[in-house]
């Protein structure tokens, strides 16, 4: 079912009206006008023939002679036919033309009826004329023709019945009967005209819809063509302008298109020279094979490769590139090839390598600075046990000398006893020596002095081991380390920094797993946090002399991470300072007390090198807690090997 006319699209409705008027009605009007032009001439000739052969016999009887009707047929018929023929040929399709033809056609019918003396057969010419006039598909033409016929039958029926009915006298209502048959035919012709007009409208509507659809399609095609042209121009501009290597490949890893930048790297004067070739035609060895393997993986899985760092070598030229490759699919989703973009990052890699070297140097300098700052404290820590080790050793030396004297006197007594010469005179000096030596005192104090000396040696050894572990430079790769032991060593080394300000509480998880880390950098981070905590507590102690704060170092496991928390009971961090505490060289300490690098180094090391996080919790007047989260598992060996390869190659 088609849409009602008032619901059609405006453009369709307008085009439908134009087609219906121009190509349906007007064309039909013009063709029918030309048909009647021929028909008029034929009817005129037929009227002359009727006047010559039929009219005399009809009107006079058996004898025939040239009747005045012949001249009427020639001249009146010519007049009736001439004007509509002229209009049909000169103004086809005009309303005046078809209306004139309708009147003339009916007048021809009246002329033929008159020429035949009102014979019944010629009355059928009226019905035939109406059928021909219906070809106009215009009810107004039929209405005008019907009026002419009815008027003719009425007037001639009243004043000249013999010319229309073939009788001398006729009923005054006989014209109504004839007019009624004409109207009867008109009813069916009107219905036929309405159906034909409806069919013509449907044809015009369908053609209008088709034309509008075609026009829309053509507009869409033109717009899409323009878009494609613009996209092609944009792609061409990008391909020719970007310094990055851009290329397209089929599923066999053969180049289908490359840009001038890649052609220049391959040493080609024309980018089209690479079409149909593979990386193996330009690069040798494992690099080309690896690229083909990566691309075949894309075709097999449909997964893109993003920001892959790879080395490209062509002849004596080599560079590091960051490559992204994505699959190309057709309308059905089938992979038809890939597009790749490779950006030369050699300079960037070299800069990053230099930056990493500078970071290492800065870290080592910071470490040496920390060691230097701790040296005086460590010397003091070692000096105390060394002093009492020396005092006890001297006491032991003197005590041993006294004991040796007593032993020698007893040796003399033993020799005298063997000779049976043991007399009171021999025994008396030995007794005096024993009494003077106070052996009971030596029995009690010498073991205690030796024990204190051993404790002092152990204390010195502990400090030296802690210093050694803290100062160990570490390797270039992460190692599985005992963080609890590292924290204990660092806290021990920094003891002189905090012992006058705070007590340190160690809450270390006994089941803490070893963590893959750069141990030297981790030690530096803990030292930075402990020293910062001591300084924060120092600000509180200055206001409350004779008091001490508490530094708590806690370790816990949290799923696949280890969490280290360093808490102080200091002043807390002011609101306006909090956004800046991890910025390099930012410090609120007095000149000479801090460089502003401690927290920045800690932040960079934990996040950038260990893949962890650094955060803090603080409350003014209550203190601050710094929280380090480190992943337990190390990076993959492949990733580490790739970085090592890059570093080695760039250093070369």
> Which pLDDT tens digit goes with each residue over 137-172?
777 888 888 887 777 777 776 677 666 665 555 666
Highest mean pLDDT, choosing among 166-170, 213-217, 483-487, 587-591 = 483-487
Give the ranges where 91-119 is alpha helix by DSSP (H).
95-115
Give the pLDDT confidence score for residue 366 in this predicted structure: 60
Mean pLDDT for 256-270 is: 86
Mean pLDDT for 22-51 is: 73
Q: Taking CA 174 as the corner, what is the angle to CA 170 and CA 177, rounded to the nearest 5 degrees?
A: 160
* Strand duo 549-558 + 502-508: pairing: parallel
**DSSP assignment of 391-449, as one string?**
HHHHHHHHHHHHHHHHHHHHHHHHHHHHTT---HHHHHHHHHHHHHHTHHHHHHHHHHH
274-277 long-range contacts (CB < 8 A, ≥24 apart) are 274/247
Q: Considering the entire predicted model, what is its pTM?
A: 0.38
d(CA 337, CA 327): 6
Give the pLDDT confidence score for residue 583 in this predicted structure: 74
Is the pLDDT score of 639 beyond 50?
no
d(CA 524, CA 360): 12
- Reported as half-sphere exposure (CB side, CA atoms, 13 A), residue 348 has a value of 7
Secondary structure (3-state) at 539: helix
CB-based burial of residue 107 (10 Å sphere; 0-12 exposed, 13-18 middle, 19+ buried)? buried
Give the pLDDT confidence score for residue 647 in this predicted structure: 40
Mean pLDDT for 46-60 is: 59
* Strand duo 305-314 + 515-517: pairing: unpaired
Is the pLDDT score of 134 beyond 80?
no
Cross-strand partners of 558: 561
**Coarse DSSP helix, strand, coil percentages of the chain, rounded to the nearest 5 percent:** 65, 15, 20
More confident: 477 or 507: 507
Give the number of other Cβ atoms within 10 Å of residue 354's Cβ: 11
Mean pLDDT for 412-432 is: 77
Give the pLDDT confidence score for residue 565 in this predicted structure: 94
d(CA 262, CA 250): 17
Give the pLDDT confidence score for residue 35 in this predicted structure: 81
Give the number of other Cβ atoms within 10 Å of residue 12's Cβ: 18
Is the pLDDT score of 19 beyond 50?
yes
Give the pLDDT confidence score for residue 60 in this predicted structure: 47
Q: What's the pLDDT band for 320 if we cut at 50, 70, 90?
A: confident
d(CA 21, CA 15): 10
Q: What's the pLDDT band for 24 if we cut at 50, 70, 90?
A: low
Laid out side by side, the sheet with 335-344 consists of 255-258, 245-250, 335-344, 317-329, 305-314
Is the pLDDT score of 635 beyond 50?
no
66 phi, psi to nearest 5 deg: -65, 120
Number of H helices, E strands in the chain: 20, 12
Look at the alpha carbons of 81, 84, 88, 90 in this order and tell me if their dihedral is positive or negative.
Answer: positive
Residues 6+ apart with CB under 8 A from 135: 28, 32, 35
Give the pLDDT confidence score for residue 25 in this predicted structure: 65
Give the pLDDT confidence score for residue 563 in this predicted structure: 94
* Strand duo 335-344 + 479-481: pairing: unpaired
Mean pLDDT for 307-329 is: 83
Secondary structure (3-state) at 45: helix
Is the pLDDT score of 232 beyond 90?
no
As a whole number of angstroms, the longest Cα–Cα distance in the chain is 220
d(CA 280, CA 289): 7
Exposure class string for 443-455: b at 16+ Cβ within 10 A, else e: eeebeebeebbee
Is the pLDDT score of 305 beyond 70?
yes
More confident: 446 or 15: 446
Q: What's the pLDDT band for 114 if we cut at 50, 70, 90?
A: low
539-546 long-range contacts (CB < 8 A, ≥24 apart) are 539/570, 539/571, 540/569, 540/570, 540/571, 541/501
Give the pLDDT confidence score for residue 5 in this predicted structure: 46
Q: What's the pLDDT band for 651 if we cut at 50, 70, 90?
A: very low
d(CA 457, CA 462): 9
Q: What is the pLDDT of residues 563-577, one digit of tens each?
A: 999 999 888 888 888
d(CA 407, CA 401): 10
Lowest mean pLDDT among 6-10, 61-65, 310-314: 61-65
121-125 long-range contacts (CB < 8 A, ≥24 apart) are 123/178
Residues 6+ apart with CB under 8 A from 580: 586
Give the pLDDT confidence score for residue 554 in this predicted structure: 93
Look at the alpha carbons of 571, 573, 576, 582 in this order and tell me if their dihedral is positive or negative.
Answer: positive
Q: What's the pLDDT band for 182 if we cut at 50, 70, 90?
A: confident
């Amino acid at each position: 079912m088609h849409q009602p006319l008032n619901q059609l699209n405006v453009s369709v409705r307008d085009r439908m009206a134009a087609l219906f008027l121009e190509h349906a009605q007007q064309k039909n009007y013009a063709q029918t006008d030309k048909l009647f032009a021929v028909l008029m001439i034929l009817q005129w000739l037929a009227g002359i023939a009727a006047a010559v052969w039929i009219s005399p016999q009809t009107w006079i009887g058996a004898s025939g002679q040239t009747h005045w009707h012949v001249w009427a047929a020639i001249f009146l018929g010519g007049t009736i036919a001439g004007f509509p023929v002229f209009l049909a040929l000169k103004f086809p399709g005009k309303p005046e033309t078809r209306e004139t033809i309708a009147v003339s056609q009916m007048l021809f019918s009246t002329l033929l009826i008159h020429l035949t003396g009102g014979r019944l057969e010629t009355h059928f010419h009226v019905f035939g004329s109406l059928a021909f006039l219906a070809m106009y598909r215009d009810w107004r033409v039929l209405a005008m023709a019907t009026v002419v016929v009815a008027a003719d039958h009425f007037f001639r029926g009243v004043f000249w019945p013999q010319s229309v009915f073939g009788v001398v006298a006729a009923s005054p209502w006989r014209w109504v009967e004839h007019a009624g048959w004409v109207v009867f035919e008109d009813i069916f012709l009107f219905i036929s005209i309405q159906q034909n007009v409806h069919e013509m409208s449907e044809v015009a509507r369908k053609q209008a819809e088709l034309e509008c659809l075609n026009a829309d399609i053509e507009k869409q095609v033109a717009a899409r063509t323009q878009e494609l042209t613009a996209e092609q121009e944009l792609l061409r501009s990008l391909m020719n302008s970007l310094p990055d290597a851009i290329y397209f490949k089929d599923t066999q890893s053969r180049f289908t298109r490359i840009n001038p930048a890649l052609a220049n790297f391959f040493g080609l004067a024309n980018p089209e020279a690479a079409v149909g070739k593979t990386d193996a035609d330009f690069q040798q060895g494992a690099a080309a094979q690896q690229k083909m393997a990566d691309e075949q993986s894309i075709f097999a899985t449909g997964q893109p490769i993003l920001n892959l760092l790879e080395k490209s070598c062509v002849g004596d030229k080599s560079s590091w590139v960051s490559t992204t490759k994505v699959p190309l699919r057709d309308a059905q989703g089938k992979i038809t090839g890939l597009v790749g973009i490779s950006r030369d990052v050699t300079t960037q890699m070299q800069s990053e390598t230099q930056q990493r070297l500078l970071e290492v140097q800065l870290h080592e300098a910071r470490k040496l600075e920390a060691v230097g700052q701790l040296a005086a404290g460590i010397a003091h820590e070692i000096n105390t046990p060394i002093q009492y080790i020396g005092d006890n050793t001297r006491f032991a030396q003197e005590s041993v000398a006294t004991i040796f004297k007593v032993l020698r006197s007893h040796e003399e007594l033993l020799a005298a006893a063997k000779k049976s010469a043991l007399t009171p005179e021999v025994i008396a000096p030995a007794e005096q020596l024993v009494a003077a030596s106070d052996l009971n005192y030596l029995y009690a104090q010498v073991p205690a002095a030796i024990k204190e000396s051993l404790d002092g040696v152990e204390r010195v050894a502990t400090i030296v081991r802690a210093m050694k572990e803290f100062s160990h430079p570490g390797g270039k790769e992460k190692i599985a380390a005992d963080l609890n032991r590292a924290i204990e060593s660092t806290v021990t080394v920094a003891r002189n920094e905090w012992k006058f300000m705070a007590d340190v509480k160690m809450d270390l998880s006994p089941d803490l797993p070893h963590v893959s880390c750069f141990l030297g950098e981790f030690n530096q981070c803990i030292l930075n946090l402990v020293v910062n905590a001591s300084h924060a507590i120092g600000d509180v102690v200055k206001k409350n002399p004779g008091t001490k704060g508490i530094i708590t170092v806690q370790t816990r496991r949290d799923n696949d991470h280890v969490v280290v928390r360093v808490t102080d009971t200091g002043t807390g961090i002011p609101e306006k300072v909090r956004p800046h505490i991890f910025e390099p060289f930012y410090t609120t300490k007095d000149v000479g007390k801090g460089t502003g690098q401690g927290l920045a180094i800690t932040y960079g090391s934990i996040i950038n090198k260990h893949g962890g996080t650094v955060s803090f919790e603080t409350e003014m007047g209550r203190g601050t807690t710094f929280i380090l989260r480190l992943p337990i598992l190390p990076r993959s060996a492949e990733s580490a090997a790739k970085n090592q390869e890059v570093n080695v190659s760039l250093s070369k």
